[in-house]
Homo-oligomer: A and B are copies of this chain.
Amino acid sequence: MTIRIGILGYGNLGRGVESAITQNSDMELTAVFTRRNPEHVSVRTAGVKVLHADELEHMQDAIDVLILCGGSATDLPVQTPHYASMYNVVDSFDTHARIPEHFAAVDAAAKAAGKVGIISCGWDPGMFSLNRLYANVILPEGHDYTFWGKGVSQGHSDAVRRIAGVKDARQYTIPVPEAVEAVRSGANPELTTRQKHTRECFVVAEEGADLAAIENEIRTMPNYFADYDTTVHFITEEEMKRDHSGLPHGGCVIRTGKTGLNREHQHVIEYSLKLDSNPEFTASVIAAYARAAYRMNREGMAGCKTVFDIAPAYLSAKSGEELRAHLL
């Protein structure tokens, strides 16, 4: 039984999903959908059609799960509920504060259509969320910490690019090693924003730009940089291309807590990721959850789900017997 996948949106994430499908032998990519002119989009998998997003209105018989690879700001709040009324869908909606309303919209659409819509898949939200939940239920009395990086923050890179005189920019978020060590030791430190992460920017300036002014504008930018210790390096376009063309990321979720009638025993649970490609890893999580969406829907389930609602076995192509024999 092959799961027929459609991808809507062919940016970094869409390309990551395309590649993840090649690693899952029970899936095949049926088509890539775009809101651009399909003739201007060429996909890397031989034989896969590129179609305009409008075609999705009538392709329900050809696609088992539609993976939505748009952005969380404006695309997904519209797309996920819309397509959940026609398809099983998976998205990576990551605006934490707006998850409740997004869940409600997708849930209503998916329930009415008898489809499964899985939202907020990836690593944060996603695998980090799962690990926060598991660690919290095991150690009800404890402290949670999340560190991100070292990795490229797309939002912060964009913010720097919008500064006058900046041609290109890449921003790395970096956990403060001493803070991570203090947390791992079980010391339960209270950490300010500045104590948890530093930010490092690599900037290609336009010719004749005022470098001191750019650096000052970065360091003092509210929300993005003002609360952090930020270093700024000016580099050439060649250096940017050579040293900073990847999208690595990662981080860790740590929970420390105590057990025992007198809370005399300390425990540390840590989940950490070191990723060469943030979008490809996110896409790989999404592919596994696409399998879950398909299988849960075949069992008659419908509505919006998150990683919290999905029994892990649904993610695997292996049977319960195989999983118990080899992974338990």
Q: B-contacting residues of A (Cβ < 8 Å)?
A: 16, 18-20, 22-24, 44, 96, 99-100, 103, 120, 125, 127, 129-134, 136-141, 184, 259-261, 264-277, 280-281, 283-285, 288, 291, 306-313, 315-316, 320-321, 323-325, 327-328
Contacts and interface: CB of A to CB of B under 8 A. Distances in A.
A134 B140 contact: no
Contacts of A264: 276
Given A99-B328, A129-B327, A137-B288, 15 more contacts: A96-B328, A120-B328, A125-B328, A136-B316, A136-B327, A137-B291, A137-B316, A138-B288, A265-B276, A267-B281, A268-B272, A268-B274, A307-B312, A308-B312, A310-B311
Contacts of A260: 19, 277, 280
Nearest to A317: B137
A103 B139 contact: no
Contact of A130 (B16, B96, B134, B141): B134
Contact of A259 (B96, B281, B320): B281
Q: How many copies does the complex hold?
A: 2
Contacts of A310: 311-312
A292 to B, nearest CB: 9
A218 to B, nearest CB: 29
Nearest to A324: B99
Nearest to A131: B271
Contacts of A19: 259-261
B284 A265 contact: no
A129 B271 CA distance: 14
B321 A100 contact: yes
A108 to B, nearest CB: 15
- Top 4 A-B pairs ranked by shortest CB distance? A265-B276, A265-B277, A137-B288, A259-B280
Contact of A24 (B96, B140, B275): B140
A140 B23 contact: yes
A140 B19 CA distance: 12
Contacts of A261: 18-19, 22, 44
Contacts of A269: 127, 272-273
A74 B123 CA distance: 41
Given A23-B259, A261-B44, A133 B267 contact: no
Given A137-B315, A312-B133, A325-B99, A273 B268 contact: yes
Contacts of A321: 100
Contacts of A103: 324
Nearest to A18: B261
Given A307-B312, A308-B311, A325-B100, A139 B284 contact: yes
A273 to B, nearest CB: 6
6 contacts: A22-B261, A99-B328, A139-B284, A265-B277, A268-B275, A310-B311
A283 to B, nearest CB: 8
Contacts of A22: 261
A139 to B, nearest CB: 6
Contacts of A259: 16, 19-20, 23, 277, 280-281, 283-284
B16 A133 contact: no
